[in-house]
Amino acid sequence: MKKIFPLIVVLITLSVVGILFIQMSWINNALKLKNEEFLRGVDNTLTQTKKVLQEKFIFKMHSNAVDEESRLFFLKNNFRIDGIFTREEVADVIEKQLLQNNIKEPHEFYISNIFKLAVLQSDGFQMADLSTAKSIELAPDNALRSHDTLYLSVYEDKNAIIREMLWMIIASIVFTTIIILAFFVTVRTLFNQKKLSEIKSDFINNMTHELKTPLATISLAIDALTNEKVIHDTDKIKVYSSMIKEENKRMNKQVEKILQAARLEKEEIKLNLQALDTHQVISKVADNFALQVQEKHGVLELKLNATDPNIQADEVHFSNIIFNLLDNALKYSDKTPHITVETFKHGNGILSIKVKDNGIGMDKETQTRIFEKFYRAHTGNLHNVKGFGLGLSYVKAIVDAHGGKIKVESTPGKGSTFTLTLPGA
């Protein structure tokens, strides 16, 4: 799959370019053919006009030559335009022959004699066109008497040919565009599918890891509890059972995170809005969190300065988002954690809550993507920080549902600050 995918993209791109090239050369060829057909038509007109004028000459002169040879002999000796044909007669013959060759473009003609002097000419004939006009000698070859030459200028309208082919050109542009668009959509869908399947297997890996560790600990603790020596030692029983309880809590937390995400997927955010003292909730979450911070010898500082900390919010979801932000602040830290939670009330009633850490921070590209579901950045030398990439997408969904906003400012290596702004009560 890994190699086939780029190969397919390359092959399809080459095919589309090839089709484009073939179409362009095909249209070009068609234009050339049309032009050649036109030039052939003019040539035919000249030879046919010559023939008709010769026939007419024989008829006009009441010649009694019947067979081919005597007619040719008669024409060689006598054929001429001057004094025999009128301008209108010649014009009429040319016009008819042009129409027979399907040429409707405007045209002018000119007939000169052996001394290059004008014998007959149409009104609009420009002498400047003489060199480009197609010509034919009207008398048979080696004629003794005349060297009358017919010059014919047909003003070909190149745009007319293009106009005639316009629907073909438009149709091929439209179909090619459709093919390119369809190709683009297919490639994008394939890419998305690929990304999705990678995300899915990442997620399954993470989830199994996250659930396996507590399960293994629980299993070991239970083994220990059934041990003869431990069964009579109440202190040890307490240690092991609290271990089981802790691991159970951890597992519950993970399962809850996945459920939160599943609920968001179905857009089932039902908020139980009530007047909430945010300071109280933040302090409660911070208390529960204190132990984990202590374990890492860190500091969790609260600067709850908002004059009126009340907002309309759902207590459970609000606690969860504060917890998620603190959890990340602690998780993504490679030195002694210093986390600050700060609140501020703006004049317009909006409440800001800032969660600031001195952790690993993130680059600009990561900052734009962390609120996407399942997105996890590479955390450099911070290995083994586990997660599902769901926490912040949940935070954003809940903040949005409360009509608030969340933004992040971060410097790699220095730390990050998440700012929530929520409408006041």
Query: Interface residues for ligand ADP in 329-348 (CB under 6 A)?
Result: 329, 332
Q: What residues from 372 to 401 belong to the interface with ligand ADP (CB under 6 A)?
A: 375-377, 379, 387-393
* DSSP strand pairing (149-154 vs 134-137): antiparallel
Q: Which is nearer to ligand ADP, 214 or 391 (CB)?
A: 391
Cβ 399 to ligand ADP shortest distance, Å: 13
Question: Three-state SS string across 215-232, please?
Answer: HHHHHHHHHHHCCHHHHC
Measuring CA to CA, how many Å separate 103 from each of 30, 32, 40, 100, 417?
18, 16, 11, 8, 79
CA distance 149 to 85: 14
Interface pick for ligand ADP out of 143, 261, 285, 360 (rule CB under 6 A): 360
311 or 329: CB nearest ligand ADP: 329
Closest contact distance (angstroms) between CB of 403 and ligand ADP is 21
Nearer to ligand ADP, 79 or 332 (CB): 332
- Least CB distance to ligand ADP at residue 380 (A): 10
Tell me how crowded residue 170 is: count the other CB atoms within 10 A of its CB.
10
Alpha carbons 255 and 177: distance in angstroms, whole number = 48
Note the helical H segments in 118-165: 158-164
Can you tell me which of 94, 281, 353, 370 binds ligand ADP, judged by CB under 6 A? 370
Beta strand 299-304 with 338-345: parallel, antiparallel or unpaired?
Answer: parallel
Least Å distance between CB 362 and ligand ADP?
5
Give whichever of 50 and 376 is closer to ligand ADP, judged by the CB atom.
376
Which single residue brings its beta carbon nearest to ligand ADP? 387
Number of residues that bind ligand ADP (CB under 6 A): 21
Tell which one of 49, 260, 328, 343 touches ligand ADP (CB under 6 A).
Answer: 328
Residue 135 or 379 with smaller CB distance to ligand ADP: 379
Do 108 and 125 meet the contact criterion of CB atoms below 8 Å apart?
yes
**Which of 41, 337, 359, 404 is the binder for ligand ADP (CB under 6 A)?**
359
DSSP string, 285-343: HHHHHHHHHHHTT-EEEEEE--S--EEEEEHHHHHHHHHHHHHHHHHT-SSS-EEEEEE
Q: Which of 133, 342, 416, 420 binds ligand ADP (CB under 6 A)?
A: 416
Give 152 or 395: the residue with its C-beta nearer to ligand ADP. Answer: 395
CB of residue 262 to ligand ADP, shortest distance in Å: 15
Q: Taking the CB of residue 284, how many other CB atoms lie within 10 A of it?
A: 13
Most distant pair of Cα atoms in the chain: their distance: 147
Q: CA–CA distance from 102 to each of 8, 98, 278, 308 (Å)?
A: 49, 6, 89, 91
Binding part of the chain for ligand ADP, among 127-135, 176-184, 261-269, 368-376 by CB under 6 A, reads 368-376
Q: What are the Cα distances from residue 327, in Å, to 77, 261, 277, 309, 315?
A: 115, 17, 21, 22, 18
Residue 393 CA to residue 234 CA, distance in Å, equals 44
The nearest distance, CB 272 to ligand ADP, in angstroms, is: 24
**Binding status of residue 264 toward ligand ADP by CB under 6 A:** no
Each residue 97-136 as x (binds ligand ADP by CB under 6 A) or -, in order, gives ----------------------------------------
421 backbone φψ class: left, alpha, beta (φ>0; ψ -120 to 50): beta
Interface positions with ligand ADP (CB under 6 A): 328-329, 332, 357, 359-362, 370, 375-377, 379, 387-393, 416
